[in-house]
Amino acid sequence: MSHAPQYETSYGGAATYDPDPEPEQGAEPEPEFFPRQATVVIPDVIRDGGRAEARRAARRKKPKPKSKPQSGSRTPDPAASDRPDTQRPETLRRLLPQALVVAFLAGGTSAFVADDKAIELSVDGESRTLHTFADDVGELLEDEGVDFGAHDIVAPTASTALASGDEIAVRYGRPVELTLDGQRREVWTTARTVDGALRQLGVRAEGAYLSASRSKRIDRGGLDLDVRTERTVTIMADGRERTIRTNAATVREAVEESGISLNGQDTTSVAPESFPRDGQTITVMRISGRKEVRDEPIPFDVRRTDDSSLFVGTEVVERQGHQGTRRVTYALRTVNGVKQKPRRLRSEIVREPQTQIVKVGTKQRPSSVAGAEGLNWGSLAHCESGGRPNAVDASGTYGGLYQFDTRTWQGLGGSGRPQDASSEEQTFRAKKLYVQRGASPWPHCGGRL
């Protein structure tokens, strides 16, 4: 018994085809419709039942319809008419599965052709008509190699099912570095021209300054665009007020557009290089100025040192201090007729100050002077100097409470000038002078002792 090849039928069962059946006794051989040892192969994609894969396979290679034998092209077998009628059912039985396979293949091809769709695809403004077996928009774009991202627009959406006659549009996003009225930011647009981008972004462009023409095309790499819209600005200058409409980039430009010139040190109430805002009021400040040099004193320091030869409470200036001099340059300004506070520009020291040195007494003062106690020294001091320890006469010769001259003072053991010593020391030296010479050193006031 021969082993016949098997093939699958359209309903999922297996049929057996015997290429070499044993003929019945006395029967003539049947004519062959299939070559011997032939196997009918059903494509895997059809057997698996995947519709999308079947469509792709159909696009790669469409099945060609089998050619039908022309009428009269086959020579009739004269012996066939002599066969008994009982053999015809058996022949039909063997040919029926083969005919089913041919019908299955022909029906599948017809299904593929019926699923073909005519689609109008527009990619960034370029349209074309194509035929596709895709189920939805996303599958079609993938088949056509059309990529899209988060900033791109696909209409209808990628998940929308397709039908013949549909129109699909893909608009690519383009980055725009937009500087709008001084504020810079990155935006995205699907417009292909500057004018379309402005409309899409809602930018009011009437009367505005544009760094690129409205008709300029925007490629997918993007564009830098500077837009300055028209604004209302009020200029106050020279006692007058002017209101203008401008798209100037700076306050200085807006002022000049109003017909006002900034000369010399003139400036504005806001920074001249700042961006003018809508409704802003700008005041022009007329400035006149000059430089002035002044010599300013530098105070001297005082350094004190102890001296055991001087009584406690006595201070003697050993070296007189001197002020220094600093030369300072100022800028003097008048703004709209009003003088401003001088501004220091620079300074230099012309003369260094000299430190004053003072000796401070540490010697304990004697409590009394024999022969001079009990006298009215306060009355004498009041008569001579008005009771002022630092008093000096008009000639500058005599000083202190008791109007000592410097020579007499130092002869009594005093240092420096008498008017610089304390009241106690001056009284002590006056008592010593009284013991030596009596009241004669004070011819007019000595009687008050």
Residue closest to 411 by CA, chosen among 378, 439, 437: 437
What's residue 37's pLDDT? 38
Fold classified for 174-228: Ubiquitin-like (UB roll) (3.10.20)
Domain 290-358 - what CATH class? Answer: mainly beta
What's residue 90's pLDDT? 55
Work out the average pLDDT over 295-300.
96
Of the pLDDT bands very low, low, confident and very high (cuts 50, 70, 90), residue 413 is: confident
Q: CA-to-CA distance for 186 and 179, rounded, in angstroms?
A: 9
Work out the average pLDDT over 410-437.
89
Domain boundaries defined on the chain: 117-171, 174-228, 231-285, 290-358, 366-448
pLDDT digits (tens, 9 = 90+) for 386-405: 999 999 999 999 999 999 99
The lowest-confidence range among 90-104, 215-229, 274-288 is: 90-104
Work out the average pLDDT over 200-221.
91
pLDDT digits (tens, 9 = 90+) for 127-162: 999 999 999 999 999 999 999 999 999 999 999 999
Domains 117-171 and 174-228 equal at CATH topology level? yes
Say yes or no to pLDDT of 82 above 50. no
Of the pLDDT bands very low, low, confident and very high (cuts 50, 70, 90), residue 36 is: very low
Say yes or no to pLDDT of 176 above 60. yes
Distance from chain centroid for Cα 177: 13
What percent of the chain has pLDDT above 90? Answer: 59
What's residue 21's pLDDT? 44
Say yes or no to pLDDT of 16 above 80. no
Of the pLDDT bands very low, low, confident and very high (cuts 50, 70, 90), residue 204 is: confident
What's residue 19's pLDDT? 41
Say yes or no to pLDDT of 295 above 90. yes
Looking at per-residue pLDDT, the higher value among 229 and 89 belongs to 229
Most confidently predicted of 91-100, 205-214, 343-352 = 343-352
pLDDT digits (tens, 9 = 90+) for 250-288: 999 999 999 999 998 899 999 999 999 999 999 999 999
The lowest-confidence range among 6-10, 98-102, 432-436 is: 6-10
Of the pLDDT bands very low, low, confident and very high (cuts 50, 70, 90), residue 230 is: very high
Fold classified for 117-171: Ubiquitin-like (UB roll) (3.10.20)
Say yes or no to pLDDT of 11 above 90. no
> What average pLDDT does the structure give for the chain?
80
What's residue 206's pLDDT? 86
CATH, domain range 366-448: 1.10.530.10
Looking at per-residue pLDDT, the higher value among 255 and 11 belongs to 255
| CA torsion through residues 148, 153, 155, 158, sign | positive
Domain 231-285 - what CATH class? Answer: alpha beta
What's residue 94's pLDDT? 57
